[in-house]
């Protein structure tokens, strides 16, 4: 036991006695990792965060109101929800693909592994009660390195706008990766936000969704370290009438282009079916330069597997295989294929010449 001086409100000096207290929870002893309990004026005081978390409660500090929250905070009403047409994206059903299989919804407690310091979604010191969170590792399952994780929502032309904030949570481990968020509507990139880091203020998201049937939110990073990405307070503005004029040009297919990266110069093709597809005679086309890659051999694409076509610097490396038959790479060209300055759609055609999928 040791004595020390502590300053209370209005600079009042008090003497307290720290003790090595034992903490028993239903007969099981747990030990705090930091602060000790102390005694003052006959009353025993214990570390609040340790007690709360030992009981399974999230403990957080709200600096704006100087309030300690134990457990769930009441849902804060955003500007969008004040509008009768506002809907939180997290209220909709979601399909989680690839690395997003561990997607967290509304808090880190509702998802897979992560290294966020607070289980409440927090960006640059501010907490949010709604959002999507995804932990991205520097050494993921090989296909995910390029494609990341995607959350898909069928919105059926019911909404005209998506707003929110994107950032990253402070990590319990060293994390310096740069995150990228893509908003994709009916196979077209509507917004790409890069330069997302854990020590920065969040970036604004504001996207026109008029006529969009299928909305995808894609999370990825440069894999230089780890990152806990957050798309906070995602709000949808409802359309006055459902718009169905901008239907996808191609019907949904089991084989599709899931991403095209103009800067890193690659296209990713995925087979989402439970059958093996022979790609002989299939081709991928860059609409801007009218350059095409044709699968001339019997290349099979198994269930839940990927093929990457590389070009530019990746193509110059000449690597033709990444991870067994689940994620193979083929060199399209050592030259750059994709235009960074103008629209350049990636199209996938089957052996009969039918347009199967496109990514704009």
* Domain identity same for 223 and 277: no
Reported as a pLDDT band with limits 50, 70 and 90, residue 196 is very high
The predicted pLDDT at position 327 comes to 80
Q: Tell me, what CATH number does 275's domain have?
A: 2.60.40.1260
Number of domains in the chain: 3
The sign of the dihedral angle between the CA atoms of 222, 358, 323, 292 is negative
In a domain, 312, yes or no: yes
When pLDDT is averaged across residues 68-76 and rounded to a whole number, the result is 65
In a domain, 65, yes or no: no
The predicted pLDDT at position 75 comes to 52
pLDDT digits (tens, 9 = 90+) for 253-279: 789 999 898 888 889 999 988 899 999
* Domain identity same for 184 and 213: yes
When pLDDT is averaged across residues 326-333 and rounded to a whole number, the result is 84
* Domain identity same for 215 and 88: yes
In a domain, 71, yes or no: no
Cβ neighbours around 353 below 10 Å, total: 9
* Domain identity same for 50 and 182: no
What's the rounded Cα separation, in Å, for the pair 48 and 29? 16
* Domain identity same for 84 and 160: yes
Instruction: State CA 81 to chain mean position distance.
Output: 22
* Domain identity same for 309 and 259: yes
Domain boundary among 208, 238, 268: 238
* Domain identity same for 86 and 230: yes
- Higher-confidence residue of 233 and 325: namely 233
The predicted pLDDT at position 134 comes to 97
* 83-92, 129-138, 295-304, range with the lowest pLDDT: 83-92
* Domain identity same for 14 and 96: no
| C-alpha separations of 76 from 64, 202, 314 in Å | 14, 18, 46
Backbone phi and psi for residue 25, each to the nearest 5 degrees, phi listed first = -120, 105
- Nearest partner of 159 among 47, 216, 240, judged by Cα: 240
Domain boundary among 207, 238, 269: 238
In a domain, 88, yes or no: yes
| C-alpha separations of 49 from 64, 188, 252, 309, 354 in Å | 19, 45, 49, 50, 60
In a domain, 248, yes or no: no
* Domain identity same for 104 and 209: yes
Q: Which residue's entry shows tokens 């036991």?
A: 1
Does the pLDDT at position 7 exceed 50?
no
The predicted pLDDT at position 79 comes to 41
When pLDDT is averaged across residues 294-301 and rounded to a whole number, the result is 88
In a domain, 96, yes or no: yes
* 135-139, 152-156, 227-231, range with the lowest pLDDT: 135-139
Reported as a pLDDT band with limits 50, 70 and 90, residue 77 is very low
* Domain identity same for 260 and 341: yes
* Domain identity same for 193 and 331: no
Share of the chain above pLDDT 90, in %: 48
Does the pLDDT at position 284 exceed 90?
yes
The predicted pLDDT at position 321 comes to 60
Does the pLDDT at position 65 exceed 60?
no
Domain boundary among 209, 238, 267: 238
The burial of 123, by beta-carbon neighbours within 10 Å (0-12 exposed, 13-18 middle, 19 or more buried), is given as buried
Task: With residue 13 as reference, give the H or E element that holds it.
Answer: strand 13-19
Task: With residue 175 as reference, give the H or E element that holds it.
Answer: none
Reported as a pLDDT band with limits 50, 70 and 90, residue 83 is very low
pLDDT digits (tens, 9 = 90+) for 232-259: 999 999 988 765 555 445 555 789 999 8
The predicted pLDDT at position 78 comes to 44
Q: Tell me, what CATH number does 162's domain have?
A: 2.60.120.1060
Reading the block at residue 263, the tokens are 């800067």
The sign of the dihedral angle between the CA atoms of 70, 71, 74, 79 is positive
When pLDDT is averaged across residues 128-148 and rounded to a whole number, the result is 90
DSSP H helical ranges for the chain: 48-54, 79-82, 144-147, 312-317
In a domain, 159, yes or no: yes
Share of the chain above pLDDT 70, in %: 82
* Domain identity same for 84 and 53: no
What's the rounded Cα separation, in Å, for the pair 117 and 108? 10
* 7-16, 60-69, 116-125, 268-277, range with the lowest pLDDT: 7-16
- Nearest partner of 239 among 162, 132, 131, judged by Cα: 162
- Nearest partner of 198 among 164, 182, 221, judged by Cα: 221
Does the pLDDT at position 84 exceed 50?
no
Does the pLDDT at position 124 exceed 80?
yes
Q: Which residue's entry shows tokens 């060199």?
A: 331
* 6-15, 48-57, 129-138, 190-199, range with the lowest pLDDT: 6-15
In a domain, 244, yes or no: no
Range of the domain at 341: 255-359
Question: Would you say how long the chain is, in residues?
Answer: 360
């Amino acid at each position: 036991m040791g004595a020390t001086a502590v300053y209370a409100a209005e600079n009042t000096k008090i003497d307290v006695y720290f003790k090595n207290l034992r903490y028993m929870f239903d007969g099981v002893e747990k030990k705090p990792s930091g602060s000790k309990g102390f005694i003052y004026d006959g009353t025993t005081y214990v570390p609040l965060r340790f007690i709360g978390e030992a009981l399974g409660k999230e403990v957080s500090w709200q600096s704006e109101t100087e309030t300690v929250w134990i457990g769930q905070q009441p849902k804060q009403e955003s500007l969008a929800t004040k509008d009768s047409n506002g809907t939180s994206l997290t209220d909709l059903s979601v399909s989680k693909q690839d690395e997003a299989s561990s997607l967290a919804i509304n808090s880190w407690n509702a998802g897979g592994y992560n290294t966020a310091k607070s289980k409440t979604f927090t960006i640059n010191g501010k907490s949010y009660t709604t959002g999507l969170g995804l932990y991205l590792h520097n050494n993921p399952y090989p296909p995910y390195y390029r494609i990341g994780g995607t959350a898909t929502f069928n919105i059926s032309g019911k909404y005209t706008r998506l707003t929110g904030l994107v950032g990253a949570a402070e990590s319990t481990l060293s994390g310096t990766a740069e995150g990228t968020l893509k908003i994709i509507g009916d196979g077209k990139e509507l917004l790409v936000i890069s330069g997302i880091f854990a020590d920065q203020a969040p970036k604004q998201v504001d996207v026109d969704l008029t006529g969009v049937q299928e909305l995808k939110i894609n999370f990825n990073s440069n894999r230089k370290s780890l990152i806990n990405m957050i798309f906070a307070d995602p709000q949808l503005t409802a359309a006055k009438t459902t718009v169905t004029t901008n239907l996808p040009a191609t019907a949904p297919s089991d084989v599709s282009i899931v991403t095209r990266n103009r800067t890193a110069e690659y296209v990713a093709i995925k087979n989402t079916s439970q059958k093996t597809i022979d790609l002989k005679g299939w081709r991928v086309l860059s609409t801007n330069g009218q350059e095409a890659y044709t699968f001339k051999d019997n290349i099979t694409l198994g269930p839940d597997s990927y093929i990457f076509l590389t070009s530019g610097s990746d193509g110059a490396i000449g690597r033709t295989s990444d991870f067994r038959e689940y994620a193979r790479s083929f060199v399209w060209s050592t030259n750059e294929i994709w235009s960074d300055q103008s629209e350049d759609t990636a199209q996938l055609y089957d052996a009969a010449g039918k347009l199967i999928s496109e990514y704009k």
